[in-house]
Amino acid sequence: MTGLKLIKIALAQLNPIVGDVEGNAEKARWARAEAARLGAHIVMFSELFLSAYPPDDLVLKPAFQDACREACEALARETADGGPAMLIGLPWVEDGLLYNAYALLAEGAIQSVRFKVDLPNYGVFDEKRVFEPGPMPGPVMFNGVRLGIPICEDIWGPDPVECIAETGGEILLVPNGSPFRRGVMDERLNEAVARVTESGLPLIYLNQVGGQDELVFDGASFVLASDGSLVGQLSAFREEVALTVWEKDEEGWRCVEAPLVTVAEGDEADYAACVLGLRDYVEKNRFPGVVLGLSGGIDSALCAAMAVDALGKERVHCVMLPYRYTSNESLSDAAECAKRLGVRYDIVPIAEAVEGIEAALKPLFAGRPRDITEENIQSRARGTILMSISNKFGPMVVTTGNKSEMSVGYATLYGDMNGGFNPIKDLYKLEVYRLSALRNRWKPQGSLGPDGVVIPENILSKAPSAELRENQKDQDSLPPYDILDGILECLIEHEMRVSEIVARGYDLETVKKVERLLYLAEYKRRQAAPGVKVTKKSFGRDRRYPIVNRFRDQGRSAFKPDAAFARGGGKPRTSEAMDF
């Protein structure tokens, strides 16, 4: 037997910042020092750590490529001190081609580099726009141990790992930039187990943590034994440097020491993702804090709770913006919510602003009845006031619309859609209620908000209303949320035909109306603030529909082309489900 019989690998599950090459390099130095303190031989970082993930078109900038390479070479020189070696990701130019690379730094030099083979080009990923696929990877040698390095997507198919195993790889080290969405933890684990089963090699899955625009990276790194069993699990949504200890016997390498914690799942994971996404958007963009309109409704109450959990009460400013249709119930609910959260709370009436705008428009609107136009003036007055507070004092405006509203356009451009970031953008209305009830009995580890009930029970139990006219309720304009949310999930997450949705028991005319509203609201969503992705298909990077779009399903059945017509030998059958 040759090589080490013992190897200690530190896992740096960290939160880099896109474009902050110097800062990310310093974070790597800190993690290396921590790994040395733990006695590690080598410390492993996540995919594209020096640039952070995803850098998008920033990696096409030659000056940025140079900065990443220079930082890598500087780190490599520092490994001459006898401390831990480093495995670190960065964009890498070779022979005029740009690769998603992973480099082994040891003994004062860049010893080996491996390039990502399978470039994802679906959902939120479009790596084929900027990177070239690398060749099939063999293992890299470190102190006599053959380390296989499939990068992220390289384990979502069998070929790269098969190549590593066939060329003598002994341990699979998988650096990742894998964003959070519901169910993704199980999907990652299943894919990793499949690669371990096929290759017979143990595996370390190391993931980035932190928020980057709409994406949140949950960390939740893990270790699998060669039989596919879970022997190591790091926390979700938290930075940490953890040590794994490996011993080699006749059957190969075994992980004999690693952290093994329970990670948040379901609604708890969704809430933690929203908090982390908001915190990092504010912190990484260097806002001093946030301001939001606290209406007495469920959406703004949940956003306020998330903001306090993310930033602390001192950095959250809530403003009630009442008008003649604002109920006493809403006034008292908003005040109570602010009190429980401990935030600054101001009341700024909007009557003068609304009536001033209406007076200015009176000559143009003469002879026309009041309608939704006047309702939107109220919303836009509120949006203008919040943006003015932001401009004067510096806090970012938090937008508070949920996915149900954004789907069907139940929101006002330049009004309640104003703001810099929306933590609940990808949560349907019923999910907002569910997470609000959850927050009253639980909060994520590391949250800065108070324990206990922070959202008054009356906010959870009363009927939702925009309060833009007398006795208005959301259900005056929309189907009940249990019906609306179910239809929207079918249309958005599953891209189902109208006929398939109706087969689930929904009314045809209601489904057609919701589909129509979904398409019509695309122009609004293009102008909406970014927000945290938690579902399979969020608005933004995931779902790219045209604004000019005349297609409507209208309940057609699945089309099966006539065989003769498909061969060019006839005309299509007539069908009630087809439009000509």
Whether 261 has a pLDDT exceeding 70, the answer reads: yes
Q: Which two tokens stand for residue 271?
A: 């809430």
Higher-pLDDT residue of 565 and 282 is: 282
Q: Which two tokens stand for residue 189?
A: 């684990």
Span 302-324, average pLDDT: 97
Catalytic status, residue 462: no
Cβ-proximal residues to 199 (8 Å cutoff; 6+ apart), any chain: 161, 162, 164, 165, 169, 172
- What is the chain's alpha carbon radius of gyration, rounded to the nearest angstrom? 27
pLDDT value at residue 562? 59
Residue pLDDT, tens place only, 467-481 = 677 766 767 778 999
Catalytic one of 152, 163, 274, 318: 152
Query: Helix H segments across 173-247?
Result: 184-199
pLDDT value at residue 560? 65
pLDDT value at residue 565? 47
Residue pLDDT, tens place only, 449-470 = 999 999 999 999 988 877 677 7
List C-alpha distances in Å: 17 to 23, 33, 368, 570: 8, 20, 53, 59
Checking DSSP bridges between strand 6-13 and strand 42-44, what pairing results, if any?
Answer: parallel
Residue pLDDT, tens place only, 223-260 = 999 999 999 999 999 999 999 999 998 889 999 999 99
pLDDT value at residue 339? 97
Distance of CA 397 to the CA centre of its chain: 19
What DSSP string describes 161-187?
HHHHHHTT--EEEEEE--B--TTHHHH
Gap between the Cα atoms of 236 and 573, Å rounded: 55
> Sign of torsion, CA 219 256 243 164?
negative
Supply φ then ψ for residue 90, to 5 degrees. -165, 160
Gap between the Cα atoms of 493 and 120, Å rounded: 19
Query: Helix H segments across 503-555?
Result: 508-520, 522-525
| Max intra-chain CA distance, the chain | 94
Whether 576 has a pLDDT exceeding 90, the answer reads: no
List the end-to-end C-alpha distance of the chain, in Å, as a whole number: 74
Sole residue written with tokens 């293009």: 526
Gap between the Cα atoms of 228 and 189, Å rounded: 9
- Cβ-in-10-Å burial (0-12, 13-18, 19+) of 262 comes to exposed
Catalytic one of 116, 403, 524, 537: 116
pLDDT value at residue 541? 80
Catalytic status, residue 68: no
pLDDT value at residue 574? 34
With cut-offs at 50, 70 and 90, classify the pLDDT of residue 306. very high
Gap between the Cα atoms of 409 and 403, Å rounded: 10
With cut-offs at 50, 70 and 90, classify the pLDDT of residue 124. confident
β-partners of residue 145 are 142
Span 30-44, average pLDDT: 97
With cut-offs at 50, 70 and 90, classify the pLDDT of residue 357. very high
Catalytic status, residue 490: no
Q: Which two tokens stand for residue 208?
A: 């980035």
β-partners of residue 441 are none
pLDDT value at residue 498? 93
Catalytic one of 8, 34, 47, 336: 47
Rounded (to 5) percent helix, strand, coil in the chain: 40, 20, 40
Gap between the Cα atoms of 363 and 565, Å rounded: 61
CA angle 363, 368, 370 (to 5 degrees): 105
Reference 457, options 475, 433, 481; nearest CA is 433
With cut-offs at 50, 70 and 90, classify the pLDDT of residue 272. very high
User: Three-state DSSP class for 361?
Assistant: helix
Gap between the Cα atoms of 128 and 118, Å rounded: 9
Span 485-494, average pLDDT: 94
Q: Name all domains of the chain by residue range, CATH numbers in brackets.
A: 6-256 (3.60.110.10), 268-478 (3.40.50.620)
Gap between the Cα atoms of 469 and 269, Å rounded: 37
Whether 101 has a pLDDT exceeding 50, the answer reads: yes
pLDDT value at residue 14? 98
Gap between the Cα atoms of 435 and 437, Å rounded: 5
pLDDT value at residue 323? 93
Residue type at 239? E
What count of other Cβ atoms lies within 10 Å of the Cβ of residue 456?
20
Residue type at 294? L
What percent of the chain lies above the pLDDT cut of 90?
83
Reduced 3-state DSSP string for 239-286: CEEEEEEEEEECCEEEEEECCECCCCCHHHHHHHHHHHHHHHHHHHCC
Note whether 484 and 408 are within 8 A (CB): yes
Gap between the Cα atoms of 154 and 443, Å rounded: 35
Gap between the Cα atoms of 173 and 505, Å rounded: 48
Cβ-proximal residues to 427 (8 Å cutoff; 6+ apart), any chain: 270, 274, 402, 403, 435, 534
Peptide linkage before 464 cis (omega within 30 of 0): no
Distance of CA 553 to the CA centre of its chain: 30
Cβ density class 120-147: b for 16+ within 10 Å, e for less: eeeebbbbeebbbebeebbbbebeebbb
Q: Which two tokens stand for residue 173?
A: 């080290």
Residue pLDDT, tens place only, 175-220 = 999 999 998 999 999 999 999 999 999 999 999 999 999 999 999 9
Supply φ then ψ for residue 255, to 5 degrees. -85, 115
Distance of CA 90 to the CA centre of its chain: 21
Residue pLDDT, tens place only, 530-570 = 999 999 888 888 787 878 887 788 766 665 665 554 444 44
Count of helices and strands (H, E) across the chain: 17, 19
With cut-offs at 50, 70 and 90, classify the pLDDT of residue 573. very low
